[in-house]
């Protein structure tokens, strides 16, 4: 293999993530020619409405996966939380890279923690998951729609339209914006989205050469955690239109999974946690989903 084409969304964060994967590939194959192809997805073009309103899964992956299936690119780099739980036939996630910090963070011009924001604070997010947990934490919060890439959201956070915004820690860390973080939000307050902070490298299932190149990027503990989280999500039929959260962590041979189902207004939240052997990740996710459905 002399050349490989990587497909990605065009945002600064997506390009950073793809460049990171490209650098890891070059470490293994210094003579490899790498081309990065930005692809515009439907989710990128619809920044005028909340994600829940434009609906459906694969908003940020569908066009990239189509290019992969058509052979226009050799692999795709995705933020794993954007990848639907059902992978198109003929494609596979050949590597799940080591996870960055999975937590959400608060960015605010008030330079304070979440608990210290003024009464009736306007908090920007387009995520039903974040909105529901914010309302659970403090019913006086006003949730204001926030779309756009990381830099756009950071610029908006400085305007009077928002008292604060909530973003994924991983994106700010990767882009060197940790100085903008007012508070890392505890999972007890803001449980992350399934897959948050992890990168997925997707290839055609029958492409043995690319698989051999990419497989060493796979991080087994992260894959186990992600498999549990995605099994939880899959069992509940979740996507952008349901406030769901899941976060798994590996400790030795044990896998611990926390999950949450909420109403959109945050008035009803069902939480749970389970633990198993790392090898039982898929079953663990299904088990927690079942337990929370019973509690509902």
Task: Write out pLDDT tens, residues 165-200.
Answer: 999 999 999 999 999 999 999 999 999 999 999 999
Say if residues 225 and 248 touch (Cβ distance below 8 Å): yes
Q: What is the pLDDT of residue 276?
A: 97
Q: Do 75 and 110 belong together in one domain?
A: no
> Is there a domain that residue 192 lies in?
no
Helix (H) / strand (E) element for 164: namely strand 164-168
Total of domains in the chain: 3
Q: Do 2 and 91 belong together in one domain?
A: yes
> Is there a domain that residue 191 lies in?
no
> Is there a domain that residue 189 lies in?
no
List 165's β-bridge partners, or say none: 107, 124
Q: Do 213 and 226 belong together in one domain?
A: no
Confidence grade of residue 147 (pLDDT, cut at 50, 70, 90): confident
Q: Nearest to residue 172, comparing CAs of 154, 186, 192?
A: 154
Task: Check whether 67 has a pLDDT greater than 80.
Answer: yes
User: Which CA distances in Å does 132 have to 49, 120, 135, 197, 266?
Assistant: 18, 15, 5, 20, 4
Taking each helix axis from N to C end, the angle separating 281-295 and 220-235, rounded to the nearest 10 degrees, works out to: 30
Confidence grade of residue 206 (pLDDT, cut at 50, 70, 90): very high
Q: Do 125 and 203 belong together in one domain?
A: no
As a whole number of angstroms, the distance between CA 248 and CA 274 comes to: 10
Share of the chain above pLDDT 90, in %: 87
Q: What is the pLDDT of residue 59?
A: 85
Task: Supply the DSSP symbol for 219.
Answer: -
Is 237 or 258 the better-scoring residue by pLDDT?
A: 258
As a whole number of angstroms, the distance between CA 190 and CA 282 comes to: 23
User: Which CA distances in Å does 73 have to 2, 202, 288?
Assistant: 14, 11, 37
Task: Check whether 50 has a pLDDT greater than 70.
Answer: no
Q: Do 176 and 238 belong together in one domain?
A: no
Q: Do 208 and 269 belong together in one domain?
A: no
CATH of the domain at 248: 3.30.160.40
pLDDT digits (tens, 9 = 90+) for 100-123: 999 999 999 999 999 999 999 999
Task: Check whether 45 has a pLDDT greater than 90.
Answer: no
Q: What is the pLDDT of residue 49?
A: 67
> Is there a domain that residue 190 lies in?
no
Say if residues 246 and 258 touch (Cβ distance below 8 Å): yes
Say if residues 254 and 278 touch (Cβ distance below 8 Å): yes
Q: Of the residues 184, 210, 236, which one is the last residue of a structural domain?
A: 184
CATH of the domain at 112: 3.40.190.10
Q: What is the pLDDT of residue 5?
A: 97
> Is there a domain that residue 193 lies in?
no
Q: Do 72 and 214 belong together in one domain?
A: yes
Task: Check whether 239 has a pLDDT greater than 70.
Answer: no
Q: Do 6 and 83 belong together in one domain?
A: yes
pLDDT digits (tens, 9 = 90+) for 87-104: 999 999 999 999 999 999
Say if residues 22 and 201 touch (Cβ distance below 8 Å): no
> Is there a domain that residue 133 lies in?
yes
> Is there a domain that residue 112 lies in?
yes
As a whole number of angstroms, the distance between CA 49 and CA 171 comes to: 21
254: helix, strand or coil: strand
Q: Which domain holds residue 286?
A: 219-296
> Is there a domain that residue 43 lies in?
yes
Burial of 156: CB neighbours in 10 Å, binned 0-12, 13-18, 19+ = middle
As a whole number of angstroms, the distance between CA 241 and CA 57 comes to: 9
Q: What is the pLDDT of residue 256?
A: 98
Average pLDDT over residues 204-210: 97
Q: Nearest to residue 142, comparing CAs of 111, 163, 156?
A: 163
Q: Do 208 and 270 belong together in one domain?
A: no
Average pLDDT over residues 10-32: 95
Q: Do 67 and 209 belong together in one domain?
A: yes
As a whole number of angstroms, the distance between CA 188 and CA 55 comes to: 28
Q: Do 55 and 121 belong together in one domain?
A: no
Q: Do 48 and 108 belong together in one domain?
A: no
The two three-digit tokens of residue 21, written as one number: 């994967």
Residue 120 burial (CB count, 10 A): 10
The two three-digit tokens of residue 241, written as one number: 């239109």
Q: Give the active site residue among 44, 74, 82, 207.
A: 82
Catalytic residue at 82?
yes
DSSP-H helix ranges across the chain: 12-28, 42-45, 51-54, 62-69, 128-137, 150-157, 169-174, 208-214, 220-235, 281-295
Residue 265 burial (CB count, 10 A): 13
């Amino acid at each position: 293999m002399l050349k490989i084409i990587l497909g990605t969304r065009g945002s600064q964060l997506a390009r950073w993530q793809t460049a990171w994967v490209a650098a890891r590939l070059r470490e293994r194959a210094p003579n490899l020619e790498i081309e990065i192809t930005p692809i515009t997805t439907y989710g990128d073009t619809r920044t005028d409405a909340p994600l829940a309103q434009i609906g459906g899964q694969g908003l940020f992956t569908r066009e990239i996966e189509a290019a992969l299936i058509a052979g226009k690119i050799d692999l795709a780099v995705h933020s794993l939380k954007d990848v639907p739980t059902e992978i198109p036939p003929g494609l596979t996630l050949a590597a799940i890279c080591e996870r960055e910090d999975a937590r959400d963070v608060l960015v605010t011009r008030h330079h304070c923690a979440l608990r210290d924001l003024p009464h009736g604070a306007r908090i920007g997010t387009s995520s039903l998951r974040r909105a529901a947990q914010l309302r659970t934490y403090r019913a006086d919060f006003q949730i204001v729609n926030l779309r756009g890439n990381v830099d756009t959201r950071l610029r908006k956070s400085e305007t009077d339209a928002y008292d604060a915004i909530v973003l994924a820690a991983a994106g700010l860390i990767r882009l060197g914006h940790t100085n903008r973080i007012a508070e890392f939000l505890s999972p007890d307050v803001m449980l992350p989205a399934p897959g948050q902070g992890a990168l997925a490298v997707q290839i055609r299932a029958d492409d043995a050469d690319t698989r051999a190149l990419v497989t060493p990027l796979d991080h087994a503990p992260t894959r186990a955690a992600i498999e549990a989280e995605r099994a939880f999500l899959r069992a509940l039929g979740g996507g952008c239109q349901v406030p769901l959260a899941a976060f798994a962590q590996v400790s030795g041979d044990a896998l611990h999974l926390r999950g949450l189902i909420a109403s959109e207004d945050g008035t009803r939240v069902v939480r749970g946690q389970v633990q198993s052997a790392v090898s039982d990740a898929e079953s663990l996710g299904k088990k927690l989903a079942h337990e929370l459905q019973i509690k509902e």
